[in-house]
Amino acid sequence: MRFRGGHNVLLKGRPDSAIKVMPEPKVLYLPLRSERFTFSDIQVKEGEKVQGGDILAKDPDNHSVPLLAPRAGKVRLEAAEDHIVLEDVAQLEERADMVEEEMQHIEKEMGAAGIKRYKLLTLGAWQFFYDAFTGELPDPLGTPQAIIVSTLSLEPFLARGDVQLSRRLLNFTRGLEQLQSLLEYQPIYLAMPNITSEFANLIRNQIRGYAWVKMLEIPLKYPYDNFAILARRLDLKASNGPIWAVRTDGILAADRALTHTKPCTVRILSVGGTGVTTPTHLKVMPGYPIQSIKDQYEFEPDARVLNGGIFTGNILPEETMGVDVECRGLTVLPEQKEREFLGFIRPGWDRDSYSNSFLSSLRKDFRERLTTALRGEGRPCVACNYCEEVCPAGIMPYLIHKYLYADLIEEAEQARVDLCVECGLCSYVCPSKIDLRTQIVEAKDLIAKEKEEIRQEQLRQEEARKREEERKKAEENVE
Amino acid sequence: MKWLLNVIEKVRPHFEEGGRLKAFHPVFGALEHFFFSPSETTIGPPHIRDPIDLKRYMSMVIISLVPCVLAALYFFGLRFLAMVVVSYAAGLTVEALFAMVRKEGINEGFFVTGILWPLILPPTLPLWMVAVGVAFGVLIGKELFGGTGRNVFNPALVGRCFLALAYPKTMASSWVEPGQAVAGRLLSWVGPSSADAISAATPLALAKQGDMVPTSHMFLGNISGSFGETSALMIILGGGFLLLTRVANWRTVLATLASFFVLTVALIAGGRLTYNMPGVLGPTLWHLCAGGLLFGAFYMATDPVTGPTTNAAKWIYGITIGSVTVLIRNFTGYVEGVTFAILLGNIVAPILDEIVIAIRIRRLRSEG
């Protein structure tokens, strides 16, 4: 497959390339939920004193991925709902090494490769890994058919890979080598914006001979950095085994966990979007109070704060008090305030559109001040084909919309609704303002649920048959 | 414009649930959203939307028709404006009635049909026929199928087809010779009863009798014909703009015109067609500018709703329209074939889509 579709939105408030270190907090609010994880298995008691790197909770459904204490402090379980609160936070006493005995014990059990995977998981580096096709957490003990590493971040706005890389190139290449040691002959693909740049050559020289890395040049168009799109671009098939996908921060975390055996409790996140005064990058730890970030970066009043980017991020609930373990950026978008007078016949010099129906198409690059406005009324589909043109996954959103409208769920499945990468571009460009993404996501979930039910039913039948056979055998024996 | 918003807010309760004028809510909504952008916001990801909406989308078509409208006023006079008014009044009535019955908003699609309709009519057609035709087209061609977005046929062409079959004599004799003076017929009125309304046959009809109007006249548009169809220059100007905005798809236009061109060249070169004009390219270009071909290719065939959706099907759709036009014009009793060709294209469009989609789905099967 070649890259197709895609579209860049010229949203105002792009984070600059600085990384600002936020002041040390007094209290940390660690949310028990993030995009993929629900840390329901709490490992600490109320009032317990923990050190930096201790495991606070685990997610039993996701290979027991841990929630680590980013700092030393005192645990409060009831202080805020769905949060573990750490009071009297102190930076020192970070657990430098994992307990020696524990390590030896595990090494005996798992071997040299096993210990590395164990370290990745328990030191908090594994949560940076994704399965390229499903987006879920991959099995840390599995063997991937390939690893995709991406330094890009094309959705407005998420923490940029280049910003994190600039001063930590050595850690990055060492991280790649560490990953290579987990593999046999499987390749590592490194997705970069420009593979002939000086920077790319620097990486190439540093890793020569240590890791088998293939560089992949990616055009800077949203959402070409999507892992599923990259995997399909590389002609990798889901049936040939899992594909691990990881971003710059994940490689740096792997380096920290495997080279230094230190817990990974730092997150670089972006603060961007129309509604923020000075968009930039922040270095924080999970649980960092969102209110302090808000205070320092003066979000516009009545702005919508998103956990993630403008296309795929969810609204950050009021109740969430701290940065979660998977947060890559906070995007601030003002709510629509004024209704425009005769908006549809204005020339549109400052309006960026996928179609060329506005004067802005004569203009070079500019940044638009966008709000949450729907900018039009809902209408039936007029079959303009914009959604199909813009779709990076090569499916036909309007067709799936029509199937779902007629309740033809099987036809929607035939039309490969499962290939959708949920980038949201179809909803964005639709002149009839149909929320295609939501409809497609709902259909995907429904189909996945039905498939799971069928699988369960089959298992049940299988079991019943076995039981029946055993009963017969027993009867025969009696005879 | 605060006062207008205040007025709207003040009268709103009358049109909402429980108000006296509840039945007219679609009309109120249409007026409100004409003046002010809707207050709705996004609820989930993606949190932003492209500025293009159906109003803008349809406005682009209307803007692109400005050159044709100017040409119509220049060559055929003020009667055009009367026809536009009648067209909008009759069509909007039908549209609003259906919107009120269906309790949906009034769709912007009609604003395009309302201006396209007079542009494809003979200049001295009685005004009541204008009204009947557009009402028929909107009612049968669109509303019965469920309104804009769900119609199979182009409503304007359904109306024209109806008039051509119901009143063939009037439709064939309502032509008028365009103004030949420098000022054209600007600010003059040529009705069915005025002295200028000698029924002047269109170039295509004359050609059947062996009389060819010069191609330069065909290009500029000072010939007899429907209001908006005569000036090839103006159609190309407006249509080109429409293609640049990406509202109309270039594939349809190119496929229609190219297939028409190639087939005509082939037929003339093969000796199956002879015109009272030397050469092969000469008569082909003449034919390209004649009748409603350019107007149909740029404005009628490109209607996204009634044409195919997939890009591959657009090519075949265009080729169908182009070649069927050639066949009707040259091998049947009709002098003009674009209306029928596009309606035929509308019929085959869903099948073409079906085929292309089946192929694409088969290819998608092995993905991921």
B170-203 pLDDT per residue, tens = 888 888 887 777 777 777 777 776 655 566 778 8
Q: Do B309 and A398 touch (CB under 8 A)?
A: yes
Which amino acid would we find at residue B339?
T
Q: Do B50 and A438 touch (CB under 8 A)?
A: no
Cis upstream peptide for A66 (omega within 30°): no
| pLDDT given for residue A109 in this prediction | 72
Q: Do B47 and A313 touch (CB under 8 A)?
A: yes
Q: Read off the pLDDT band of B103 (50, 70, 90).
A: confident
Beta bridge partners of A33: A38
Q: Do B368 and A335 touch (CB under 8 A)?
A: no
Distance, in Å, from the CA atom of A76 to the CA atom of A93, rounded to the nearest integer, reads 19
Residue B258 has pLDDT above 70, yes or no: yes
A68-113 pLDDT per residue, tens = 999 889 999 988 889 999 998 887 655 555 555 666 677 777 777 7
Mean pLDDT for chain B? 89
| pLDDT given for residue A98 in this prediction | 57
Distance, in Å, from the CA atom of B100 to the CA atom of B111, rounded to the nearest integer, reads 17
User: What are the boundaries of each domain within chain B?
Assistant: 2-35, 54-190+206-359
Q: Which residues of B touch A420 (CB under 8 A)?
A: none
- The structure's pTM equals 0.91
Which of A235, A337, A355, A399 has the most B C-beta neighbours within 10 Å, making it the best mutation to test the interface with B? Answer: A355
Q: Which of A11-25, A463-477, B196-210 has the lowest mean pLDDT?
A: B196-210
Distance, in Å, from the CA atom of B277 to the CA atom of B272, rounded to the nearest integer, reads 14
**CB contact set of A111 (below 8 Å; sequence gap of 6+):** none
Q: Helix (H, G, I), strand (E, B), or coil: what is residue A270?
A: strand
Distance, in Å, from the CA atom of B140 to the CA atom of B121, rounded to the nearest integer, reads 19
Q: Which residues of A touch B310 (CB under 8 A)?
A: 385, 388, 396
| pLDDT given for residue B28 in this prediction | 85
Distance, in Å, from the CA atom of A5 to the CA atom of B32, rounded to the nearest integer, reads 35
Q: Read off the pLDDT band of B337 (50, 70, 90).
A: confident
Q: What is the dihedral of CA B352, B358, B362, B368, to 10 degrees?
A: 100
Opening angle at CA B60, ends A436 and B132, nearest 5? 100
Distance, in Å, from the CA atom of B167 to the CA atom of A263, rounded to the nearest integer, reads 86
pLDDT: which is higher, B175 or B324: B324
Q: What is the ipTM of this complex?
A: 0.89
| pLDDT given for residue A322 in this prediction | 93
List the single residue in B36, B51, B107 with the smallest CB-CB distance to A351: B51
Q: Do A383 and B309 touch (CB under 8 A)?
A: yes
Q: Do B46 and A427 touch (CB under 8 A)?
A: yes
Residue A367 has pLDDT above 80, yes or no: yes
List the single residue in A342, A348, A438 with the smallest CB-CB distance to B51: A348
Distance, in Å, from the CA atom of B43 to the CA atom of A372, rounded to the nearest integer, reads 8
Question: Between chain A and chain B, how many beta carbons pairs sit less than 8 Å apart?
Answer: 203
| pLDDT given for residue B24 in this prediction | 82
Please choose, from the candidates B301, B157, B132, the residue with its C-alpha nearest in 3D space to the C-alpha of residue B226: B157
Task: Map tokens 């071909």 to a residue.
Answer: B293
Q: Which residue of A has its CA nearest to B152?
A: A382
B34-92 pLDDT per residue, tens = 888 888 899 989 999 999 999 999 999 999 999 999 999 998 888 999 999 999 999 99
Q: Do B38 and A383 touch (CB under 8 A)?
A: no
Q: Helix (H, G, I), strand (E, B), or coil: what is residue B146?
A: coil
Distance, in Å, from the CA atom of B307 to the CA atom of B154, rounded to the nearest integer, reads 9
Distance, in Å, from the CA atom of A88 to the CA atom of A71, rounded to the nearest integer, reads 10
Distance, in Å, from the CA atom of A410 to the CA atom of B93, rounded to the nearest integer, reads 41
pLDDT: which is higher, A103 or A186: A186
B186, two tokens: 């600007």
Q: A368-383: b or e for each residue (b if 16 or more CB lie within 10 Å)?
A: bebbbbbbbbbbbbbb
Please choose, from the candidates A290, A303, A435, the residue with its C-alpha nearest in 3D space to the C-alpha of residue A369: A303
| pLDDT given for residue B106 in this prediction | 82
Q: Are B166 and B122 in contact (CB under 8 A)?
A: no
**How close, in Å, is residue A342 to chain B by CA atoms?**
5
| DSSP code at position A35 | S
Distance, in Å, from the CA atom of A435 to the CA atom of B139, rounded to the nearest integer, reads 29
User: Alpha helices of A287-363 — where are they, by DSSP H?
Assistant: 290-297
CATH 1.10.3430 fits B54-190+206-359, yes or no: yes
Which of A4, A375, A401, A418 has the most B C-beta neighbours within 10 Å, making it the best mutation to test the interface with B? Answer: A375
Q: Are A293 and A260 in contact (CB under 8 A)?
A: no
**CB contact set of B54 (below 8 Å; sequence gap of 6+):** A376, A377, A379, A382, A431, A432, B107, B108, B109
Distance of CA A416 to the CA centre of its chain: 22
Q: Do B245 and A438 touch (CB under 8 A)?
A: no
Q: What is the dihedral of CA A396, A401, A404, A410, to 10 degrees?
A: 0
- The A267-272 sheet, strands edge to edge: A19-21, A280-284, A267-272, A329-334, A303-307, A314-315
**Residue A379 phi, psi (nearest 5):** -140, 165
Distances (CA, A) of B336 to A333, B54, B290: 55, 32, 9
B116-173 pLDDT per residue, tens = 999 999 988 999 999 999 999 999 999 998 888 889 999 999 999 999 999 988 888 8
Distance, in Å, from the CA atom of B354 to the CA atom of A415, rounded to the nearest integer, reads 12
Distances (CA, A) of A194 to A155, A215, A324, A430: 18, 9, 32, 32
Q: Read off the pLDDT band of B250 (50, 70, 90).
A: very high
Distance of CA A391 to the CA centre of its chain: 20
Q: What is the DSSP string of B285-341?
A: HHHHHSTTHHHIIIIITT-TTTS-SSHHHHHHHHHHHHHHHHHHHHHSS-S--HHHH
Please choose, from the candidates B266, B282, B281, the residue with its C-alpha nearest in 3D space to the C-alpha of residue B330: B266
Distances (CA, A) of A290 to A157, A271, A324, A354: 17, 11, 10, 34
Beta bridge partners of A57: A42, A67
**How close, in Å, is residue A464 to chain B by CA atoms?**
34
Q: Helix (H, G, I), strand (E, B), or coil: what is residue A392?
A: coil
A315, two tokens: 């609204």
Q: Are A22 and A289 in contact (CB under 8 A)?
A: no
Task: Map tokens 């990259």 to a residue.
Answer: A230
A432, two tokens: 């009839």
Beta bridge partners of A303: A334
Distance, in Å, from the CA atom of A462 to the CA atom of A289, rounded to the nearest integer, reads 51
Q: Read off the pLDDT band of A336 (50, 70, 90).
A: confident
List the single residue in A336, A431, A438 with the smallest CB-CB distance to B57: A431
| pLDDT given for residue A302 in this prediction | 83
Q: Which residues of B touch A418 (CB under 8 A)?
A: 368
Q: Helix (H, G, I), strand (E, B), or coil: what is residue A217?
A: strand
Q: Are A114 and A106 in contact (CB under 8 A)?
A: yes
| pLDDT given for residue B347 in this prediction | 95
Bridging pattern class, strands A188-192 and A213-217? parallel
B4-17 pLDDT per residue, tens = 888 888 888 888 88
pLDDT: which is higher, A134 or A364: A134
